[in-house]
Amino acid sequence: NAGVTQTPKFRVLKTGQSMTLLCAQDMNHEYMYWYRQDPGMGLRLIHYSVGEGTTAKGEVPDGYNVSRLKKQNFLLGLESAAPSQTSVYFCASSYVRGGRIEQFFGPGTRLTVL
């Protein structure tokens, strides 16, 4: 099991460029999430999905879009990157079993927007 994987690991963008971050999990988890981690702000939820074809906004969704066309993949898109989106992005997935929900995280994508 690879667990949760993220592509790419690093990326540098110029203001206004677009990009898509890919998250994949091979654990057959129902839920998937995108977070950003910033110094002094901790981890904050951007968007999440409770199943294939469904997505919902988290705490800081502005400037991002997501899609979950397949159960194992969760894509995060930046349509017009801004310097404020410089951050480390983490994807996570969780199972829902017997009332227990536990999140597992990927290694992160470090994004710099110039």
Partner 1 sequence: KQEVTQIPAALSVPEGENLVLNCSFTDSAIYNLQWFRQDPGKGLTSLLLIQSSQREQTSGRLNASLDKSSGRSTLYIAASQPGDSATYLCAAMNNAGNMLTFGGGTRLMVKP
Interacting residues with partner 1 (CB under 8 A): 4, 31, 33, 40, 42-45, 48, 50, 56, 58-59, 90, 92, 96, 99-108
The beta-carbon contacts of 95-98 under 8 Å, at least 24 apart in sequence, are 95/27, 95/28, 95/29, 95/30, 95/31, 96/30, 96/31
Q: What is the 3-state secondary structure (H, E, C) of 45-62?
A: EEEEEEECCEEEECCCCC
Residue 22 or residue 50: which is nearer to partner 1 going by CB? Answer: 50
Residue 14 or residue 100: which is nearer to partner 1 going by CB? Answer: 100
Residue 19 or residue 50: which is nearer to partner 1 going by CB? Answer: 50
In the complex, the smallest distance separating the C-beta of residue 68 from partner 1, rounded to whole angstroms, is: 14
